[in-house]
Amino acid sequence: MTSYHVAVDSTDSATLGMCTTYLGAVLLERLSELPLELSSPPELVRLNPNVPWKTRGNGAFCLRYEGEKDLLDEILFIAENVIWNLSVFEDPQTNPGLVILEGEVPISFREIYHRALHEILYLDAVKEVGDYAGALMKGWKNERGLIGALSAVGADLAEHTYEAILYRPAAVKDRMRQVDAGTLREASKRYPSTFFNIDPEGNPVCIPHSPCPVILGIRGVDPSDTLEASRMVKAEGIERWVLWKTNQHTDAHIELVRGLSSLRPFSSISAEVSVSSPSAYIEGGHLFFDVSDPEGNTATCAAYEPTKGFRKSLSQLVQGDRLRVWGSIRSEDVPLPTINLEKVDVLELAVIGVPVNPRCPECGGPTESMGRGQGLRCKKCGFRGAGLEPVEKIMEREVRTGLIEPPSDAWRHLFRPSCLPTSKERGYGGPWWGTGAP
């Protein structure tokens, strides 16, 4: 007996349809013809969300099997066949990659996975790692999909969630899906270990509007609840389903950094900083403010218009507020690196004193200045207090300490929300995929 790891990336198109995970769903069915058993749940692996050439969520998948020796050629034949049939080759952004590894996953693959979450990797360097480990690698067009595929083989999902995805046939390209939102709301209520199904107003947020084969995806922290919730949802035209184990919503892309001197383009970081400039809106409703670390390094923080209330709360911050920020640095920004904010924890609010005139000591009326250094006069009774001075009053702040997060429609796949259910995962012995409805 031996183990096999089969991973694929970059087969779909944002405009022409398909989804790499759908290809995974079909591959699960086709590979079940071989004397193989899944050794772990099918894995949906999200990689660096700042990669400029991603289609949507920079996702790849890996299927891990135990089975008879000498099946490499048959696995390769089936996987190539499925990729040929389903990939959207006409899209210039689609550059499929297939990696098949037999045996233990080497540490070098684990390292590639971790780097693929935080950096931009070079294809040649990744292929070298695959070659050294004796992995079978097949790339199409510019072969860039090999980067995501090899990273998916190296994925370690110690921290994970689940997503039950229901699929329709790839040929169906409607942007609308027939899903009964009422049953979705009921499922969310019945299974509180699922999340990101509906927004606070009860509108579905787990149904895409693209021409891809995904009907909907139910996310959760427990595999059994996640699948049960997906079973409760009434949807038309389900062809197949997969219960994916995934690094989604784990903040796997975030690196904790000490200071702002180490911000690298295309990375995602979390750092403790202080607000160092007033915030300002620019055209389009995007909000910007500067921050600094204790060493005096500075960066600009940005919250974009679609984050709505998140941006509004952040506009209340003032110089001296201490924050922990999470966000990504997309490219070489001039003159300061820009952190595109994903969430902010307000650690400590600056105390702002504003000068106010005291009430009149005689009648309690309001006072006004009699000129520079000449004291205050009561506007009501005319009392003149030559020695009266404005006193400092601590300004009441609208913003409070604690976490500020964007609304769910602005979350990225890897974003860990504070509402992530904390319930423990129970054992699951059921199937991970199937044809028809789940």
Residues that bind ligand ATP (CB under 6 A): 9-10, 12, 19-20, 47-48, 51, 53-59, 93, 95, 97, 116, 119-121, 144-145, 147-148
Least separation in angstroms between residue 151's CB and ligand ATP is 6
In the block, residue with structure tokens 């062809």: 239
Choose between 53 and 281: whose C-beta lies nearer to ligand ATP: 53
Alpha helices for 191-323 (secondary structure H): 223-232, 309-314
Least separation in angstroms between residue 57's CB and ligand ATP is 4
Q: Which two tokens stand for residue 202?
A: 């009860």
State the CB neighbour count (10 A cutoff) for residue 281. 13
CA–CA separation, 95 and 141 (whole Å): 5
CA–CA separation, 143 and 11 (whole Å): 11
Q: Dihedral sign, CA of 305, 308, 310, 315?
A: positive
- Give rounded-to-5 percent helix, strand, coil for the chain: 20, 30, 50
Choose between 118 and 343: whose C-beta lies nearer to ligand ATP: 118
Choose between 55 and 307: whose C-beta lies nearer to ligand ATP: 55
Least separation in angstroms between residue 163's CB and ligand ATP is 12
Task: Please give the residue whose beta carbon sits closest to ligand ATP in the complex.
Answer: 148
CA–CA separation, 178 and 166 (whole Å): 12
Least separation in angstroms between residue 116's CB and ligand ATP is 4
Least separation in angstroms between residue 230's CB and ligand ATP is 19
Choose between 45 and 378: whose C-beta lies nearer to ligand ATP: 45
Antiparallel, parallel or unpaired: β 43-46 and 161-167 = unpaired
Least separation in angstroms between residue 145's CB and ligand ATP is 4
CA–CA separation, 384 and 407 (whole Å): 54
Least separation in angstroms between residue 131's CB and ligand ATP is 17
Choose between 125 and 282: whose C-beta lies nearer to ligand ATP: 125
Choose between 207 and 344: whose C-beta lies nearer to ligand ATP: 207
What DSSP line would sit under 8-67, residue for residue?
A: EE---BTTTB--HHHHHHHHHHHHTTSSEEESS--EEEE--TT-TT-SSS-EEEEEEEEE
Q: Which two tokens stand for residue 419?
A: 């509402």
In the block, residue with structure tokens 């784990």: 250
Choose between 55 and 224: whose C-beta lies nearer to ligand ATP: 55
